[in-house]
Copies of this chain bind each other. A is one copy, B any other.
């Protein structure tokens, strides 16, 4: 029996070997590259129609068993340990570890007591050209949800 993790590895290996771009798969599916990549990395469920379109763009013909896996809402969480070991992902964790209380106090000062939603949420990853070396720009954008008195 194939697991969701094995299917992710198969998709990534196929994409790498054949030099396919996530953005092209996203165009075929008709959603943003961030959303489609997350889905194919095993964090979001897809409809049968989206799976077929993604399969065509990738040049993979998903079996019924694979399609069922991609349709199921996954048990989310893409990392093998609570503290990530991969340097690219660790740097993001470090930002939260170091600046987490700073972010908290600044958001609470601006909005009052509440949180930034991680569900009503989008992210955008882009390249920013810079003569001193190009920069990665990550925009996290989530609805503010206030705690309420009752």
A→B interface (CB under 8 Å): 1, 3, 6, 9-10, 12-14, 16-17, 21-22, 31-35, 37-38, 41, 43-45, 64-65, 67-69, 71-73, 75-111, 113-123, 125, 127-128, 130, 132-150
Copies in the complex: 10
Residues of B within 8 A of A14 (CB): 68
A125 to B34 alpha-carbon distance, docked (Å): 21
Contacts of A127 in B (CB 8 A): 110-111, 144
Contact A72 B13 (CB under 8 A): yes
Q: Which of B89, B106, B141 contacts A101 (CB 8 A)?
A: B89
Q: Which secondary structure dominates where chain A touches chain B?
A: mixed
Q: Is the CB of B146 within 8 A of A135?
A: no
Q: How far is the CA of A43 from the CA of B93 in the complex (A)?
A: 15
Name the B residues within 8 Å of A96 (CB-CB).
Answer: 79, 84, 89, 92-93, 96
A45-B113, A68-B17, A99-B123 known; A108-B88 Cβ under 8 A: yes
Q: Is the CB of B83 within 8 A of A94?
A: no
- Partner of A72 from B12, B77, B84 at Cβ < 8 Å: B12
Determine whether the beta carbon of A107 is less than 8 Å from that of B125: yes
Looking at the assembled complex, report how far the CB atom of A70 sits from the nearest CB atom of chain B, in whole angstroms: 10
CB of A72 within 8 A of CB of B106, answer no
With A102-B34, A105-B12 known as contacts, the answer to whether A87 contacts B144 (CB < 8 A) is no
- Complex contact A139–B137 (CB within 8 A): yes
